[in-house]
Chain A
Amino acid sequence: MTANAVVQFLVFLVLLIGLALPLGAYMARVYNGEARMAQRLLSPIEHLFYRIACIRSDEEMPWTKYAANVVVFNVLGAFVVYLLQRTQAALPLNPAHLPNVPPEVSFNTAVSFATNTNWQTYSGETTMSYFTQMLGLGVQNFVSAATGMAVLIAFVRGLVRRRAESLGSFWVDLTRSTLYILLPLSFALAILLVSQGVVQTFSGSATAERLSPTMSNGHGVIEQVLALGPAASQIAIKQLGTNGGGFFNANSAHPFENPTPISNLLQLISILLIPTALCFTFGSMVRDRREGRAILSAMLVVFIPLLVATTVFEQRGNPILRGAGVDDVASAISSGGNMEGKEVRFGITSSALWAVATTAASNGSVNAMHDSFTPLGGLVPMWLIQLGEIIFGGVGSGLYGMLIYAIIAVFIAGLMVGRTPEYLGKKIEAYEIKMASLVILLPAAAVLIGTAVACLVPAGSAPIGNPGSHGFSEILYAFSSGANNNGSAFGGLTASGTFYATAIGLCMWIGRYWVIVPVLAIAGSLARKKVVPVGAGTFPTHTPLFVGLLVGTIALVGALTFIPALALGPIVEHLQLLAR
């Protein structure tokens, strides 16, 4: 790793935590209804929304109703996105005259954006009209992220409340997340991104007369058509909401989506900002900041070594190309390393940091093509996804996933000493552990079963883009990404066919709602319990010991579940590369 990489990573982490601290405190005030300044400004809109929608702002919902509302709202959202795609040819704001999107791609995309996955089986600039991007995809970018945050807050209420039957109101949590947090942050970020060169216009494209004509298929090409569009507004929420769906096909590798190292830094911080800040929000809401810091520490303990690993392997480059006469040594005038699929302005360091951040969080946007990473450089992002998107994770969803692991960790600790485990004073009993097991097992099962089926049927193996073990990695990555709601891809796999559009669509659905419902069930059960007073036998959950236990639990579950599959893909490929 270069010295520049070390300093760049440190500065990035300091900036991230420095910004997340105040945001975390602010979000705690928002959810407790104590953000006075912001409320003075925005509460007229908030209450207008409640009046129109017939919502009582003080309504309290039991977990069953909370969960039903989450599912109904999201199904409705997915349905609207589906309809918009199927009818976009007849709708306005379609300067490129794009046709209606085919049914299976529409289904996949609708589920993808409603579940905060943003897996893209389509190419942005040639498939979706501006109308679909704005009113369908753009809206889901906001409300799917807000859904994740709402579920997290309900879960935290379950931990905090005593002998309570309810978890708050989904409508209120959803509205506040969007109005007070996502919308203002996105607006500010969008303007900053435009200042760097991200496009934001409603004209379809610009046609340039090129400096030097080239020959293509026997014809001199002298023009370049530059696809434009209202990109900045969508990119801002794509990063802040851990969505990741790009405006253009190349996502944040496209110079109009991510033109400079500064725009890259802004987007990188945005990817992890809310998930980091929510750790502080959590500490503040449970009235013990040490608890939030312990969770964040566990995330960093996993994040930092994996970041170093990817950077080292990408910087080491590809021995096959070196043998062919390529100079891939880092110097003051070249980033060196494995540059296939990467942009010169980001080089190795900023691309590796992005790959690890975007897969630790369930963001899924890319500034370099993961399919072209070295075998082990690409293994890290894949494994981070498979851990269940809990190292930072999606906004809201990452932290509730992590808290489920905290419950499993105290359960294991309880087994070791023969005591009923407790987390934050709440007894963890058979019901909670059953539900927590579902949360961990269902997405993992979807990944492994999906991959196995795809390997067995021709429709699953035909669309592979690279031969050998790398082709298996493409399939494994696709199902990992779908079932854990990440959305990035080993893009060589052509996933727009009926098999993948349908299979990944189902995986995304399972990975989102079959997790949310048990999470809320645990919250409902915890809320009903009384708090056990802290005693000499209480296992504290804010100590380095607990952080170690939590990381150990995550690594153990992640390793046992996925290393056999990873051995067939990236690990074999790495050995093949070494054998040359």
Chain B
Amino acid sequence: MQFILSTLRPAASLLMLFTGLTGVVYPLAVTGVAQALFPAQANGSLIEKDGKVLGSRLIGQPFDDVRSFFGRPSATSPAPYNASASAGSNLGPTNPVLAAAVRERIAALRSVDPSEAAVPVPVDLVTASGSGLDPHISPAAALYQVHRVAKARDLAEEDVRALVLEHVEERALGLFGEPRVNVLLLNRALDEVARRSASE
């Protein structure tokens, strides 16, 4: 009885107090400050136009139209780039399923652009990302697709290449992370360019 009083009472009261402080006050305070200082980021960095949400600049979208740049393969289910159920493939390096999937992706890329058949494919373009929502591809993977996209859209290859280079985000402070291209933003810009050149 003595033990229960001297141990359970402080244990239960402290747990309750910390639940209030770290479980309620803390997240509410962070939410309050975050919504006041960085409302756009706190709500998902959404791209909005005419009151409609068109995506998030942080979350990738799937593209399978040859006139668009493709993003990375995504292992989310039931459909790729399911932003309510992030997941990687978790395929091991020697798993035959991985090798077969990569071969199939390479074949698919080459079938829509036979001129690239002899060129090795940048690795990130045929491997699934960790989240299944990776918004980026490497600049190499974007440049690899320039020929196909330009041809499909009937645009000059140099113009498309320039657009890609415009969209390259460099390493942070020249040091951290990797150079990359946001596929959604690139494809939006591409649509814009195509619309303009069509109206000219």
Using CB atoms and an 8 Å cutoff, list the residues of chain A in contact with chain B.
4, 7-8, 11, 45, 49, 52-55, 65, 68-69, 72-73, 76-77, 80, 123, 125-126, 134-136, 138-139, 141-143, 171, 174-175, 178-179, 183, 186-187, 190-191, 194-203, 205-212, 214-217, 221, 224-228, 230, 232-234, 236-237, 248-250, 253-256, 259-262, 264-265, 317-318, 320-321, 324-328, 331-347, 349-350, 366-369, 371-375, 465-470, 473, 490-492, 573, 576-577
What would 9 A/B residue contacts be, using CB atoms closer than 8 Å?
A125-B86, A194-B37, A212-B187, A230-B30, A265-B172, A340-B98, A372-B98, A468-B94, A577-B93
Known: A203-B43, A256-B59. A261 touches B13 (CB 8 A): no
Give every chain B residue within 8 A of A225 (Cβ-Cβ): 82-84
Report Cα–Cα, A8/B58, bound state, in Å. 24
Residue B198 at the chain A interface, CB threshold 8 Å: no
Decide if A345 touches B12 in the complex (CB within 8 Å): no
Whole-angstrom distance between the Cβ of A333 and the nearest chain B Cβ: 4
Give every chain B residue within 8 A of A203 (Cβ-Cβ): 43
Residue B163 at the chain A interface, CB threshold 8 Å: no
Name which residue of chain A comes closest to B11, CB basis. A73
Question: Which B residues from 21 to 38 make CB contacts under 8 A with A?
Answer: 21-24, 26-27, 29-31, 33-35, 37-38
Give every chain A residue within 8 A of B152 (Cβ-Cβ): none
Whole-angstrom distance between the Cβ of A358 and the nearest chain B Cβ: 13
Report Cα–Cα, A228/B98, bound state, in Å. 31
Give every chain B residue within 8 A of A248 (Cβ-Cβ): 86, 131
Decide if B177 touches A347 in the complex (CB within 8 Å): yes
Question: Which B residues from 135 to 151 make CB contacts under 8 A with A?
Answer: 135-141, 143
Whole-angstrom distance between the Cβ of A382 and the nearest chain B Cβ: 13
Give every chain B residue within 8 A of A346 (Cβ-Cβ): 177-178
Give every chain A residue within 8 A of B122 (Cβ-Cβ): 326-327, 334
Decide if A199 touches B42 in the complex (CB within 8 Å): yes
Decide if A343 touches B130 in the complex (CB within 8 Å): yes
Report Cα–Cα, A216/B19, bound state, in Å. 44
Going nearest first, the 7 A-B pairs with the smallest beta carbon separation are A261-B177, A253-B130, A347-B178, A327-B120, A53-B13, A334-B140, A250-B86
Whole-angstrom distance between the Cβ of B194 and the nearest chain A Cβ: 13
Question: Which B residues from 88 to 108 make CB contacts under 8 A with A?
Answer: 88-96, 98-99, 102-103, 106
Give every chain A residue within 8 A of B131 (Cβ-Cβ): 248, 250, 253-255, 343
- Give the A-B contact count at a CB cut-off of 8 A: 404
Decide if B126 touches A326 in the complex (CB within 8 Å): yes
Decide if A196 touches B91 in the complex (CB within 8 Å): no
Decide if A261 touches B171 in the complex (CB within 8 Å): yes
Decide if A209 touches B15 in the complex (CB within 8 Å): no
Report Cα–Cα, A221/B42, bound state, in Å. 27
Whole-angstrom distance between the Cβ of A121 and the nearest chain B Cβ: 14
Give every chain B residue within 8 A of A326 (Cβ-Cβ): 102, 106, 120-123, 126
Task: Identify which of A55, A65, A325 contacts B121 (C-beta below 8 A).
Answer: A325
Known: A138-B22, A350-B177. A196 touches B41 (CB 8 A): yes
Report Cα–Cα, A134/B46, bound state, in Å. 24
Give every chain B residue within 8 A of A349 (Cβ-Cβ): 178
Decide if A217 touches B41 in the complex (CB within 8 Å): no
Residue B1 at the chain A interface, CB threshold 8 Å: no
Known: A200-B35, A327-B122. A216 touches B79 (CB 8 A): yes
Task: Identify which of A54, A209, A335 contacts B13 (C-beta below 8 A).
Answer: A54
Give every chain A residue within 8 A of B187 (Cβ-Cβ): 211-212
**What 15 additional pairs, Cβ within 8 angstroms, besides A178-B18, A324-B106, A326-B126?**
A54-B10, A68-B3, A134-B23, A143-B15, A194-B34, A206-B44, A206-B53, A226-B59, A228-B43, A256-B44, A261-B176, A320-B98, A321-B102, A321-B126, A337-B123
Report Cα–Cα, A76/B27, bound state, in Å. 22
Decide if B15 touches A206 in the complex (CB within 8 Å): no
Decide if B99 touches A324 in the complex (CB within 8 Å): yes
Give every chain A residue within 8 A of B59 (Cβ-Cβ): 224, 226, 255-256
Give every chain A residue within 8 A of B15 (Cβ-Cβ): 73, 76-77, 80, 139, 143
Decide if A255 touches B172 in the complex (CB within 8 Å): no
Task: Identify which of A69, A336, A470, A491 contacts B88 (C-beta below 8 A).
Answer: A491
